[in-house]
């Protein structure tokens, strides 16, 4: 039986996508810390790119946490604020799931 050797030499692969198909990788590349070629290489190897949210994302989350803390302080005086806290908590979870692709939240 002939032994097959896998070459580490890189070959060029062309990829044609519709505009709609190309939008999804562009979205992820906004948050990935790698060039398009590396992103596609990781996908081919079954290793999705780790996301890297923008600094503005973390600033937004910190602001939401501050708003949440302020609403919690209001609960004894305004019980409806408890519902607002739950909504903010869910918003934070949803944002983290959407923008921290491939990472545990």
pLDDT interval class at 105 (50, 70, 90): very low
Q: What's the chain's average pLDDT? A: 77
d(CA 70, CA 21): 42
Indicate the residue among 37, 52, 67 that finishes a domain: 52
Kindly state whether residues 75 and 46 are assigned to the same domain: no
Kindly state whether residues 47 and 62 are assigned to the same domain: no
**Residue range 60-78, pLDDT digits in tens:** 889 999 999 999 999 999 9
Whether 2 is in a domain gets the answer no
pTM of the model: 0.48
**Residue range 9-27, pLDDT digits in tens:** 777 777 777 777 776 665 6
Task: For residue 24, give its domain range.
Answer: 19-52
pLDDT over threshold 80, residue 79 = yes
3-class DSSP string for 18-65:
CHHHHHHHHHHHHHECCCHHHHHHHHHCCCCCCECCCHHHHHHHHHHH
Asked whether 58 and 66 are in contact (CB, 8 A), the reply is no
Whether 78 is in a domain gets the answer yes
Secondary structure (3-state) at 16: coil
């Amino acid at each position: 039986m002939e032994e097959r050797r896998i070459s580490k030499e890189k070959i060029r692969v062309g990829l044609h996508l519709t505009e709609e198909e190309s939008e999804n990788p562009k979205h992820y590349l906004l948050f990935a810390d790698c060039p398009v070629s590396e992103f596609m290489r990781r996908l081919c190897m079954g290793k999705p790119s780790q996301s890297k949210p923008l600094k503005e994302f973390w600033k937004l989350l910190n602001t939401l946490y501050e708003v949440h803390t302020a609403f919690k302080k209001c609960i004894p005086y305004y019980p409806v604020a408890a519902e607002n806290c739950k909504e903010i908590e869910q918003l934070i979870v949803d944002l983290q799931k959407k923008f921290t692709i491939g990472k545990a939240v």
